[in-house]
Amino acid sequence: MSGIAGLDERVAEVVKAAQLVRPGNRFFAAAKDVDQVTATDALAVARQWEVMTKTFMFTTISGLGVAARHFMSQRTPDRDVLAAFQTAYRVIGDDLDNLAEDFSSVAPKGAAGIHYLWWADSIVRPLAEVAGEDAAGTPPKGVAKLLGAMTDMAGHRLGAAVQLRVVEAIALDIAVAFRRIYGKVTVDGRKLFAAPDALVWIDAHIRAETSHATSVSDEETGMTAMVENGNDAEELVLLAADYATHWAGALDDFADRISTG
């Protein structure tokens, strides 16, 4: 078996229906249109993103563990499904250990290169130094619901596949939006991230996310190839639709913060 025909297109449609693609997404539009971003607003978004990327990485890895236990219980796991599992392992591996050259060539070595820590050190810390440690506050409603959805996915056999397929569909647009936002953060009339390598986390993701999106959407070795039957396929689509809706809510929170302060 090498996946179910048309399944990846169905997932792409639910991502589109959730308005997670340009030009319909409010956050992507706000990032493009805003003229200037305060350190306080930028920090509020950055702190939420730190928690989101941490939760995404660990819950996706947890989801792979659920799938691995399922494979262990089978005498002969389907090789096409295992090939999709390999894809998932490689893609989430970049978040943990920067397997891809686009990341390994610029990321800090060791644990500091784990993506949420790299973000915290290079983006959150400089913002906190000028805006104050408590500027972000508690997670807004949309982000909180997304974090809950990620936690739910951690216990599902198809959870890692759903998370990777949806997130990698929108990751490039998110990285581009962040490039626009953090390039506009001004403190006392000067750009905070003016140094050439100040936004290297974002730039590396812009370079890498195209290949990630291609790999997880491949019909033979992408995330929809993790399904084993028609029932799995229907469940994956339903899970993806719900998960994409939660991502839309979180990005709406970002849009509200950037647009109105």
Report residue 142's pLDDT band, with 50, 70 and 90 as the boundaries: very high
pLDDT value at residue 23: 87
CB 44 within 8 A of CB 135: yes
Non-local CB neighbours of 36 within 8 Å, separated by 6+ positions:
184, 186
pTM of this prediction? Answer: 0.95
Q: Provide the pairing of β-strand 186-187 with 190-191.
A: antiparallel
Q: Tell me the CATH number for domain 7-260.
A: 1.20.910.10
User: Is residue 181 scored above 80 in pLDDT?
Assistant: yes
- 149 residue type, one letter: A
pLDDT value at residue 87: 97
Q: How many residues does the chain have?
A: 261
Average pLDDT over residues 20-33: 94
Whole-number Å distance between alpha carbons of 86 and 94: 13
pLDDT value at residue 2: 53
pLDDT digits (tens, 9 = 90+) for 47-99: 999 999 999 999 999 999 999 999 999 999 999 999 999 999 999 999 999 99
pLDDT value at residue 103: 97
pLDDT value at residue 3: 61
Q: Where are the domains of the chain?
A: 7-260
pLDDT digits (tens, 9 = 90+) for 190-213: 999 999 999 999 999 999 998 999
User: Is residue 133 scored above 90 in pLDDT?
Assistant: no
Whole-number Å distance between alpha carbons of 66 and 99: 23
Average pLDDT over residues 31-54: 95
